[in-house]
A and B are shown apart, each in its own frame.
Chain A
Amino acid sequence: MSENKQLSDIGAIKGIKQFIVVDNAGQVIKSRMEHTEKMAEMVFECGKLFFSIGKKNFTHAVFKRTCGNDFLIFPVGNQYIGMIKQKNIKTFTLIDSVKNFLADLT
């Protein structure tokens, strides 16, 4: 799928350390993340829960970590992207970059 091919370029965004893409059945579409299975399950379960509250208005979730490598989830169509932020970039800067990237996909 061309969307997946483009989506896989998300790792090139400045500030993303690792990323994973899962579909709405919990299957891993692409992973550049350690502990793929565990993280895929988390992205899928959290994405599904937050989507159930906001439906298409759910834009993103941030899991703040004391180490600074925050974890972010974005819904994209019927998939979810999970990513680990590099310490040296502000969370809101990365959110804006990802939103811009995703807007260009559609």
Chain B
Amino acid sequence: MIIFCEDCGEKNQVTAGQLKTGRAIFTCRVCGYANCFAFDSGPTARQTDQDLKQILDKQIKKSQTLLGCFICDRRYEILINRMPASLPQKDVLILGRCVCQGHQHAAVAIDDLSETWIQISDKAILVFKNSHNLFLVLVGQGPVFGENLISDETRYAFQCFTPQS
């Protein structure tokens, strides 16, 4: 799986063995920094809806910049919505369709696309897709860069997430 260096933010491919102890232990391939950090709740190989909702809620609560997030499927239907209650569901749906379709269009032309950042005024939107064709969309406030919106724990949990139904 891909883990980001704590020091320089570069992506590093790590093996399951490097995560077994509940900590990510690896030397960054770019800057050489010796990373050793814990995943708070030790995500398991398969995340359920409930597990992921808890992790997302924790991240939103802890983050200074994250307004909310949601997950949609390949038809752009919302599976998990953790956006502020003041935002109507139909607006979340429209946002999801636009940003996920954009990510999909880009993926056709860019074969090594990993994530999409979109800056709209002072809002940063980050889009990921996992191997189950699900999209995680995070919306941050302030002129932040996408990579600061999501923790390694949330990234990992989403990669492992498959819907229950």
CB of A24 within 8 Å of the partner chain: no
CB of B27 within 8 Å of the partner chain: no
CB of A60 within 8 Å of the partner chain: yes
A36 CA to B101 CA, complexed, in Å: 21
CB of A39 within 8 Å of the partner chain: yes
Binds A, one of B39-47, B63-71, B107-115: B107-115
Instruction: List A contacts of B116 (CB < 8 A).
Output: 61-64
Interface string of B103-126 (1 = CB under 8 A from A): 001101110111111111100000
CB of A50 within 8 Å of the partner chain: yes
CB of B37 within 8 Å of the partner chain: no
Q: Are A63 and B119 CB-contacts (below 8 A) given A49-B101, A49-B105, A53-B95?
A: no
Q: Are A65 and B95 CB-contacts (below 8 A) given A41-B109, A57-B120, A59-B121?
A: no
In residues 38-90 of chain A, which contact B (Cβ within 8 Å)?
A: 38-39, 41-42, 45-46, 49-50, 52-54, 57-67, 71
Instruction: List B contacts of A65 (CB < 8 A).
Output: 110, 112-114
- The answer to whether A62 and B102 have CB atoms under 8 Å apart is no
A71 CA to B110 CA, complexed, in Å: 9
A104 CA to B146 CA, complexed, in Å: 26
Instruction: List B contacts of A60 (CB < 8 A).
Output: 118-119
A38 CA to B117 CA, complexed, in Å: 21
Instruction: List A contacts of B112 (CB < 8 A).
Output: 65-67
A42 CA to B108 CA, complexed, in Å: 8
Task: Among A45, A62, A63, find the residue whose CB has the most chain B CB atoms closer than 10 A.
Answer: A63
Instruction: List B contacts of A54 (CB < 8 A).
Output: 118, 120-121
Task: Among A39, A66, A71, find the residue whose CB has the most chain B CB atoms closer than 10 A.
Answer: A66
- In the complex, residue of chain B having the shortest beta-carbon distance to the beta carbon of A71: B110
Q: Are A62 and B146 CB-contacts (below 8 A) given A42-B105, A53-B95?
A: yes
- The answer to whether A64 and B114 have CB atoms under 8 Å apart is yes
CB of B33 within 8 Å of the partner chain: no
- The answer to whether A63 and B113 have CB atoms under 8 Å apart is yes
Instruction: List B contacts of A91 (CB < 8 A).
Output: 145
Ordered by A's residue number, 13 sampled pairs between the chains whose C-beta atoms are within 8 Å are: A42-B105, A49-B101, A50-B102, A53-B118, A59-B119, A61-B102, A61-B117, A62-B117, A64-B116, A64-B146, A65-B110, A65-B112, A66-B2
- B residues sitting closer than 8 Å to A (CB atoms) are 2, 11, 94-95, 98-99, 101-102, 105-106, 108-110, 112-121, 145-146
